[in-house]
Amino acid sequence: MPFFRDSDQFYAVAEDLLTRVQKEIPGASDSIAKSHLVIRLATVDPVTEFTLNGRKRPVETLYGPNRLRPTLNLELEADTLHQILLGELGLRRAVTSGRVTTRGPVLKLVALADLLHGGQKVYPQVLRDQGLLSDR
């Protein structure tokens, strides 16, 4: 059974996560902005997509389909992204194992590193605040 019950729940978590990262970890998206990348992440189970627009300052996040043409496109299961954000799976390993498929310059994935690391720091708290993760 997937971790996220539907796309609304996924988007609520993603928006909270990205808002907190921008607030609590200044500079987490600087490498995306410096590279001027447009990165689209599309998930399945549930089906979602969001785009990080590094052509805007601060980096703009668009939820759902949009007209921006991505420089780098990532497709993965929402559970794979969940595991990456929990630190249970590395992005490099997810890509090399085929759990994340990419279109575009795969070497540009390095621009996501700081944002992902920032996300890993606040993700468990986001899940707890939304009642999706209990304290252990």
Domains of the chain are 7-125 (3.30.1050.10)
Answer whether residue 3 shows pLDDT above 90: yes
Answer whether residue 93 shows pLDDT above 70: yes
Q: Grade residue 134 by pLDDT with cuts at 50, 70 and 90.
A: confident
Q: What amino acid occupies position 4? A: F
User: How far is residue 108's CA from residue 97's CA, in Å, rounded to a whole number?
Assistant: 18
Q: Grade residue 136 by pLDDT with cuts at 50, 70 and 90.
A: low
Determine the average pLDDT of the residues in 46-55.
98
Answer whether residue 70 shows pLDDT above 80: yes
Paired sense of beta strands 38-44 and 72-77, if any: parallel
* DSSP state, residue 39: E
Residue 93 dihedral angles phi and psi, to the nearest 5°: -65, -40
Share of the chain above pLDDT 90, in %: 95
User: In sequence order, what E strands does the chain have?
Assistant: 38-44, 48-53, 60-63, 72-77, 100-103
Predicted TM-score (pTM) of the model is 0.94
Determine the average pLDDT of the residues in 109-127.
96
Max CA separation in the chain (angstroms)? 42
User: How far is residue 118's CA from residue 136's CA, in Å, rounded to a whole number?
Assistant: 22
